[in-house]
A = this chain, B = another copy of it.
Amino acid sequence: MNMTDVLMKKRNGAVLTDKEITDVINQYTAGSIPDYQMSAFLMTIYFNEMNVAERTTLTKAMMESGDVLDLSDIPGIKVDKHSTGGVGDKTSLPLAAMVAALDIKVPMISGRGLGHTGGTLDKLEAIPGLKVDLSEDAFKQQIRDVGTAIISATGEIAPADKKIYALRDVTCTVDSISLISSSIMSKKLATGNDALVLDVKTGSGAFMKNTEDARALAESMMEIGEAAGVKMRAVISDMNQPLGYEIGNALEIIETVETLKGNGPDDLVELCLALGAPMVVMAQKAPNEAIARKMLMQTLSDGSALTKFTEMIVAQGGDPAFIQDYLKLPTAPYTIPYVAKTAGKLGTIDADALGILVMQLGGGRATKDDTLDYGVGVTMHKKIGDAISVGEPILTVHANQPELDLSSLDEHIQIQEHAQAPTLIHATL
Contacts and interface: CB of A to CB of B under 8 A. Distances in A.
Interface in A28-42: 34-40, 42
Nearest to A7: B172
A173 to B, nearest CB: 7
Interface stretch (A43-51, A324-332, A342-350, A399-407): A43-51
A237 to B, nearest CB: 27
A172 B43 contact: no
What number of copies of this chain does the assembly contain?
2
A46 B13 CA distance: 13
A37 B40 contact: no
Contacts of A39: 36-37, 39-40, 43
Interface in A1-59: 4, 7-8, 11, 34-40, 42-44, 46-47
Query: Could you tell me the dominant secondary structure of chain A's interface residues?
Result: helix
A167 interface: yes
Contacts of A7: 171-172
Interface string A105-134: 000000000000000000000000000000
Contact of A43 (B4, B35, B43): B43
A199 to B, nearest CB: 27
A157 B228 CA distance: 54
Nearest to A48: B47
B171 A37 contact: yes
A11 B15 CA distance: 22
Interface of A: 4, 7-8, 11, 34-40, 42-44, 46-47, 167, 170-173
